[in-house]
Amino acid sequence: MSDTVIKADNIGKKYRVAHKKHAPYTALRDVVAEKAKALGQRIFSTFNTLSRDSSSEDFWALKNISFDVKQGECIGIIGHNGAGKSTLLKILSRITEPTTGRIRINGLVGSLLEVGTGFHPELTGRENIFLNGAILGMSKSEIKLKFDKIVAFAEVEKFLDTPVKRYSSGMYVRLAFAVAAHLETEILLVDEVLAVGDIEFQKKCLGKMQDIGEKEGRTVLFVSHQLFAIRTLCQKAVWLDSGHIVKMGPTFEVVRSYEKKVLQSPEKSSSIVKRRSADVKNKTFYIGQIEMLDTKDENTNIFSYKNSFVIFIDFLGECESNNFAVEFRIYKDSGEYACTGVSNLLHDISFQKDTKRVRIDIGPLILTNGKYNISFRLLAGMRILDIWNDACSFHIIECHPFALRREIKRPVCVIQHTFCAVE
């Protein structure tokens, strides 16, 4: 007997997108005329395919999607917003029908797609647990066996007999995930809804999903923008873009390709070599250019926590002082401070003639995933000769596990760095 629990064959989903232009003021006669026109179009559209409104078009949210999922596998689904990830889960959970293709599912499916999905707002948390179990075909006695575990996992004991319409979105997610994870479903579909919960609960949910796959042998399809969670939890990944599968295979390979594609855009690549603009015309000695390379002397601004990288700073102008230093500060793209580094090898070096260059070796990087900006200050004793804020930027696409554990309090630890003058 085959161990394939999900088989998608050439799945496509088409929507009709209307583009209507609304006037700032509409009279009653215009509304009546528009309704009559719409009614006429609906009546005659059966006989005349050319009667479609030219202001609408077909939009394929998914097209030519084919894949197999084995029992016990945990599959991560990644891609930018609008790529078709949620639409795919809705088709798998039978919320919507595909326009083309066919899906075969062998097993009972539980899903957590949107906050409050499957809950009746007027019923209490206790009643909704039994309602969801009944929908999944479980008897009352079977639900009772799981009831205490569900309540303990969700941590909503105080509000168990409160109508769920009074729950916060976080409480909704806690109870919904607990129900979906503990009731007897062979296949669990989870959308990005977990991001609504707090960090501790997210970790708890990820741990539970890992147990579901590894210990219980159940199948999980997990949609998330948290790539570290995808790497940790999933053995395979599917990358969707504009409704098509770009790549499918081992998680590390797929996520790595996705990150390179997303981060290596012209806008971000332009930060690899940055030249100073005209704001330094009144300065006699200043930073003229920043260049970023990896340890193989290739221009890049995308790194893993295992990598070191090199920054070359070109100085322009003349400086009479022979006792100066360079300071750099690293900030997350959100503006949150990360760390500071100061040169300690630039004393007694005089830059008075042509362009001079300083090399900074930075790394390894105990950083969380994301974009970082670097600002520089050129100091002569206590005097600031030059400041270049957000001079360059880089991206961390594979963070150190230690950095992730510290993410709640601080984004980064100490960065190792070394300065030297380049003759």
Cα-based distances in Å from 1 to 6, 67, 96: 14, 19, 29
Residue 49 CA to residue 5 CA, distance in Å, equals 40
Most confident by average pLDDT, 184-193, 265-274, 413-422: 184-193
pLDDT given for residue 22 in this prediction:
53
Q: Which residue has the tokens 């503990």?
A: 182
CATH class of 4-19+63-263: alpha beta
CATH class of 274-422: mainly beta
Cα-based distances in Å from 340 to 250, 373, 376, 387, 399: 37, 12, 10, 14, 19
Q: Is 350 helix (H, G, I), strand (E, B) or coil?
A: coil
Show the DSSP H helices in 25-118 as ranges: 28-44, 85-92
pLDDT given for residue 50 in this prediction:
45
| Rg of the chain on CA atoms, in Å | 29
Digit-coded pLDDT (tens) for 305-364 = 677 788 888 888 776 666 677 888 888 776 777 777 776 545 545 554 555 778 888 777
Percent of the chain past pLDDT 70, that is, above it, reads 74
Q: Are strands 309-317 and 324-332 parallel, antiparallel or unpaired?
A: unpaired
pLDDT given for residue 198 in this prediction:
65
* Model confidence, pTM: 0.58
Burial pattern 62-87, b for ≥16 Cβ within 10 A else e, equals bbebeeebebbbbbbbbbeeebbbbb
274-422 shares the fold of 4-19+63-263: no
Would you kindly state where each structural domain of the chain is located, as residue ranges?
Answer: 4-19+63-263, 274-422
pLDDT at 270 over 50: no
Digit-coded pLDDT (tens) for 155-179 = 888 888 999 888 887 788 788 888 8
Among 396, 313, 74, which residue's Cα sits nearest to residue 212? 74
pLDDT at 112 over 80: no
pLDDT at 218 over 50: yes
Quickly state the pLDDT bin for 238 (edges 50, 70, 90): very high
Quickly state the pLDDT bin for 77 (edges 50, 70, 90): very high
Quickly state the pLDDT bin for 138 (edges 50, 70, 90): confident
pLDDT given for residue 128 in this prediction:
87
**Which of 104-118, 133-147, 260-274, 388-402 is least confident?**
260-274
pLDDT at 12 over 90: yes
Where is pLDDT greater, at 95 or 183? Answer: 95
Most confident by average pLDDT, 233-242, 288-297, 371-380: 233-242
Q: What average pLDDT score do residues 69-97 get?
A: 88
When the pLDDT of each residue in the chain is averaged and rounded to a whole number, the result is: 76
Residue 185 CA to residue 179 CA, distance in Å, equals 10
pLDDT at 196 over 70: no
Where is pLDDT greater, at 41 or 187? Answer: 187
pLDDT at 94 over 80: yes
pLDDT given for residue 406 in this prediction:
42
